Amino acid sequence: MNYLIEIMVIMILLEIFEANWQRAETIEGILYKSYSLYKKSIFLFFLMHPTFYFVLFISLYTDVLNFGIIAILTLKVLDFMFKLDIINKYFIKDNLDYPLKELLKLETNPWYFVMGLSLYVPTLFYSLT
């Protein structure tokens, strides 16, 4: 039981870290921060998402691979793929459709950055119990 508390605390801290570095006023700002990392190195882009690796490590370490763990990993991979695709279309090739360009200019709600914390942490907790 002690290890579960430690895992949850680490997961919360990592989610806060991810939410903090991605914080921006618009979706375009979030993607620009990701693009800045991508320009430096794609490996740096992936390293700035430590919760993916943490959940993968916890799954391997605890030998738990259930629906919750798979759901977290799948959502994280889809997040990577979506961000990389939009970065490629918007910042590199400049061929993103007009409606999507306008969508990227929308302001983000402050709750947007807490979604990962409110979704992934409880899912991981229930997966490990």
Quote the tokens at residue 76: 């994280």
Task: Show pLDDT as tens, one digit a residue, over the chain (129 residues).
Answer: 688 999 999 999 999 999 999 998 999 999 999 999 999 999 999 999 999 999 999 999 999 999 999 999 999 999 999 999 999 999 999 888 888 888 889 898 888 888 889 999 999 999 998
Residues 6+ apart with CB under 8 A from 59: 65, 69, 73
User: What's the pTM?
Assistant: 0.87
